[in-house]
Amino acid sequence: MFNIGDEVVHPMHGAGTIEAIEEKDVLGKKQSYYILRMPGEVKVMVPTSTAESIGVRNVINKEKADKVFQVLENNCTDMSSNWNKRYRDNMEKMKSGDIYEIADIVRNLSFKQKEKGLSTAEKKMLLNARQILVSELVLAEDSSVENIEEQVDTRINNSFLAYKVEAKPEENIVKKFIPFDS
């Protein structure tokens, strides 16, 4: 059970604050709802009876936020080369609401975007996962959106340089000169 003022995370919308708990009549059924204030002045209604089962949880603490930043600094994890399977796998991670899985998606898709580009659906997923990640880190770190976005970008860029660019410098080098016959 959550209380008014609690900072919580909705697995598909990101972090917000419980603004109220109200009785609503929806489709002829009266029940109690958490009214969540999300980033961008968006309001989300979540039935109190199912909030925890759909993945609504408290915002992580500072210690866990540090671990999330460490995930962003790691090399990417294995992903399917088939974009459709990769999308389904990532959607399952998104639905889990696990902040470490969200960070994994943001890092992996950011790497993929830098290397080869993303499909339209994956670009949208990256944008959504990034918004969820940033919204929670803003609350966990008691920081601004701009500061957290800069930290996320810096860690991903440094990780990409360390694991992707430096790991394959010889790929673009011609290893043997073969003269043309005249």
Q: Which CATH number fits the domain that encloses residue 13?
A: 2.40.10.170
Residue 7 CA to residue 92 CA, distance in Å, equals 24
Same domain, 88 and 132: yes
| Residue ranges making up the domain that contains 12 | 7-58
Per residue in 71-91, pLDDT (tens digit) is: 999 998 888 888 889 999 999
Residue 34 CA to residue 158 CA, distance in Å, equals 39
pLDDT confidence tier of residue 48, bands split at 50, 70 and 90:
very high
pLDDT score for 124? 96
Per residue in 169-181, pLDDT (tens digit) is: 455 444 444 555 6
> Percent of the chain scored above 90 by pLDDT?
70
Per residue in 110-166, pLDDT (tens digit) is: 999 998 889 899 999 999 999 999 999 999 999 999 999 999 999 999 999 998 775
Please identify which residue in the block is written with the tokens 């796998």: 89
